Amino acid sequence: MSKKRYQISPIELVRWAEPLFGFGEGKATGFSEKTVTAYEAAAGIRLPAALREYYRTCGKASLNCALHEIFIPDKKAKLFKKRLTFSYDHIDEDLETFSKPGEEDYPELVKIRALPRERWGEVTGNYLLFWCENQGCWYAGIKAEDWDQPNPVVYYNDQDDVYSWAPFSDSVQSFLLDILLLNLEPKAQPDEIEDPAEIQTVLFEGGVDFQRLQEPYPFPSGRYCHTCLDTESDTLYVYGEPAENRPAYLKVFKPDENECPQGPSK
């Protein structure tokens, strides 16, 4: 059986990386079905399948909070404090904070104040917020119209408010892969190579098939990178195709041989 796996999923990434680079018990554990189902019942929605599967398998992994932080499902769907919530909940908070007409920071709030809640969609959409930038500069969200899709597009609030949203990634899985690789970098400190000849040399020496490395993901992945995980040497190769204002790159993640893993892989 091949020791190399190409275009790994976010779940495969966490299951490999958590025992080597995590800071908890070293296990990629998830939330129970009971917890997820209780959240869905309290919130009145069914989570998209790809996000639901991630919460069930890897939702408690320490890598989810190593840099940018996951929002967790609360059994009673309590709001805020790193819990799954909705952008409309933040609007409710804005309405309470800016209670007097004329004091609003956001022009959208003036329009929303004049509308019943069921018509807020005329001003801005409602998004399920499930990840947050480490300083709170942006949220990642899935718009209400897409909650019934298995692997929907992910958006982010591109104007540092909850009224303006733009696409972030083509699917939940591509977002998870991208954000987890970002979360992994500070601890793993990968080697980064941009010289084309050196990239080919490193791949050849590692026995990585460059053609297979460039194959597309089985899910919508947009601008994101390609991966090859060598389970025999515990090495992850991440290849980014050239883009505007950025050359091709190769990042090589490998645990420091002088350091022990943070916990056992079970």
Kindly state the tokens that stand for 125: 């959409």
Task: Please check whether residue 85 is in contact with residue 38, taking contact to mean a CB–CB distance below 8 angstroms.
Answer: no
Q: Examine residue 155 and state whether it is found in any structural domain, yes or no.
A: yes
pLDDT exceeds cutoff 60 at 260: no
In the chain, the number of structural domains is: 1
**Looking at residues 224-235, what average pLDDT do you find?**
94
Q: Examine residue 197 and state whether it is found in any structural domain, yes or no.
A: no
pTM of the prediction? 0.92
pLDDT exceeds cutoff 60 at 119: yes
pLDDT reported for residue 259: 56
Amino acid at 8: I
Amino acid at 5: R
pLDDT exceeds cutoff 50 at 229: yes
Q: Examine residue 234 and state whether it is found in any structural domain, yes or no.
A: no
pLDDT reported for residue 105: 74
Q: Which range of residues forms the domain containing residue 131?
A: 33-177
Q: Examine residue 93 and state whether it is found in any structural domain, yes or no.
A: yes
Q: Examine residue 157 and state whether it is found in any structural domain, yes or no.
A: yes
pLDDT reported for residue 25: 65
Q: Examine residue 242 and state whether it is found in any structural domain, yes or no.
A: no
pLDDT exceeds cutoff 70 at 251: yes
pLDDT reported for residue 263: 42
Tokens 């490395």 identify what position? 213
Given its phi and psi angles, is residue 102 left (phi above 0), alpha (psi -120 to 50 degrees) or beta?
left
CB atoms within 10 A of CB 215: 11
Q: From CA 201, how far away is CA 20, in angstroms rounded?
A: 26
pLDDT exceeds cutoff 80 at 158: yes
pLDDT reported for residue 23: 79
Task: Please check whether residue 24 is in contact with residue 187, taking contact to mean a CB–CB distance below 8 angstroms.
Answer: no
**Looking at residues 96-104, what average pLDDT do you find?**
73
Specify the 3-state DSSP secondary structure of 265.
coil
Q: Examine residue 211 and state whether it is found in any structural domain, yes or no.
A: no
> What confidence tier does 52 reach under pLDDT thresholds 50, 70, 90?
very high
Buried-exposed string 80-96: b where 16+ CB fall within 10 A, e elsewhere: eeebbbbbbebbeebee
Q: Examine residue 77 and state whether it is found in any structural domain, yes or no.
A: yes
